[in-house]
């Protein structure tokens, strides 16, 4: 995703002189090309994320479109007051990019695990929150947030993510992408969990269950129409995210369903517990520790639906 983001950003900068990039003293393996081609529009603010965000807000209020870039929690949590008061309060045209969403920096421990970011960012007024699923979505999301006025948060994976979409995609902020049809259940994922969601759907297909898979790349604004249709047409809705189950995609979907009075007969959130990880390791290892592998999720969904069927049969019998 990181490569797709920078490819898109370079193309945007060629066409639009307002595009600027500010980094927090990292990522030189990928930011050097931007710095070389557009030195007057590149700034290394150093390890000073509060200053980075304040500078970005000032530049944006002077007519520029400013991308700030850092890893995991650093461009949002370390400078949350500046994000809220300088960027959101003034509706500044700042695009905050965090690379390494979820457990991507797993071996560096909880300080580098971005597992509360979606909840925090979607609570901020005027903030658009986007978590693309693969390189195709990442490139499209970069172009979309650059064109959207006001604050945006773009949550990327780290590197090496698989290309999930096999063809062109219709990427629109606030509109989910339906990856597969299904009438038995819906699986709604955000960010890099889409590949896992597709694998879960394939596994459930062998068990005779047809799964509708939605890539909910925009967590705010949420695609209410797609979610309500999933609840109405499939009756069972599951969310999947590499983020705390508190306040992220699952929380947003639950709020929408509850307030609409359109709750499906089955709803469950798959994500991370609201704890600091007691272990370190690769992203794949940590996902497995928290039951976020395709095998674990598919098994859990099948078990939940079987219990529902058994209960329904008992009630009618």
> pLDDT (tens digit, 9 = 90+) per residue, 13-28?
999 999 999 999 987 7
- Whether 261 and 130 share a structural domain: no
Q: What angle do the packed helices 224-234 and 249-260 form, to 10 degrees? A: 70
- Whether 232 and 291 share a structural domain: yes
C-alpha–C-alpha distance, residues 55 and 34, integer Å: 18
- Whether 44 and 116 share a structural domain: yes
pLDDT, tens digit, for every residue of 118-132?
999 999 999 999 999
The domain boundary residue, chosen from 156, 188, 215: 156
- Whether 6 and 146 share a structural domain: yes
Identify the pLDDT of residue 98.
Answer: 96
Give the CA angle between residues 158, 52, 135 to the nearest 5°. 25
pLDDT for 311 beyond 60:
no
- Whether 151 and 189 share a structural domain: no
Identify the pLDDT of residue 91.
Answer: 98
| More confident of the two residues 140 and 161 | 140
Residue 104 resides in a domain: yes
Q: Which pLDDT band, with edges at 50, 70 and 90, does 262 fall under? A: confident
- Whether 139 and 278 share a structural domain: no
- Whether 143 and 15 share a structural domain: yes
The count of structural domains within the chain is: 2
- What CATH number did the domain enclosing 15 receive? 3.40.50.970
Tell me the residue range of the domain where 122 lies: 2-156
């Amino acid at each position: 995703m990181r490569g797709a983001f920078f490819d898109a950003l370079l193309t945007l900068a060629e066409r639009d002189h307002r595009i600027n990039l500010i980094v927090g003293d990292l990522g030189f393996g990928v930011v050097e090309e931007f710095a070389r081609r557009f030195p007057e529009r590149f700034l290394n603010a150093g390890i000073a994320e509060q200053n980075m965000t304040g500078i970005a807000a000032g530049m944006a209020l002077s007519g520029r479109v400013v991308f700030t870039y850092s890893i995991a929690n650093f461009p949002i949590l370390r400078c949350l007051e500046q994000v809220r008061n300088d960027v959101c309060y003034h509706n500044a045209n700042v695009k905050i990019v965090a690379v390494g969403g979820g457990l991507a920096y797993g071996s560096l421990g909880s300080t580098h695990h971005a597992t509360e970011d979606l909840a925090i960012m979607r609570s901020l007024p005027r903030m658009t929150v986007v978590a693309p699923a693969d390189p195709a979505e990442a490139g499209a999301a970069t172009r979309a947030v650059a064109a959207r006025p006001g604050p945006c948060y773009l949550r990327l994976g780290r590197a090496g993510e698989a290309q999930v979409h096999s063809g062109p995609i219709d990427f629109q902020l606030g509109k989910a992408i339906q990856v597969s049809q299904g009438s038995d259940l819906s699986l709604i994922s955000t960010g890099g969990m889409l590949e896992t969601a597709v694998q879960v759907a394939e596994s459930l297909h062998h068990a005779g269950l047809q799964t509708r898979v939605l890539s909910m790349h925009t967590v705010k604004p949420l695609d209410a129409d797609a979610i309500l249709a999933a609840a109405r047409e499939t009756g069972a809705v599951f969310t999947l995210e590499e983020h705390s189950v508190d306040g992220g995609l699952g929380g947003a979907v639950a709020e929408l369903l509850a307030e609409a009075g359109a709750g499906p007969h089955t709803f469950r959130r798959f994500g991370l517990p609201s704890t600091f990880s007691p272990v370190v390791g690769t992203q794949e290892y940590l996902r497995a520790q928290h039951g976020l592998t395709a095998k674990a999720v598919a098994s859990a969904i099948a078990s939940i639906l079987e219990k529902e069927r058994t209960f329904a049969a008992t009630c009618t019998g």
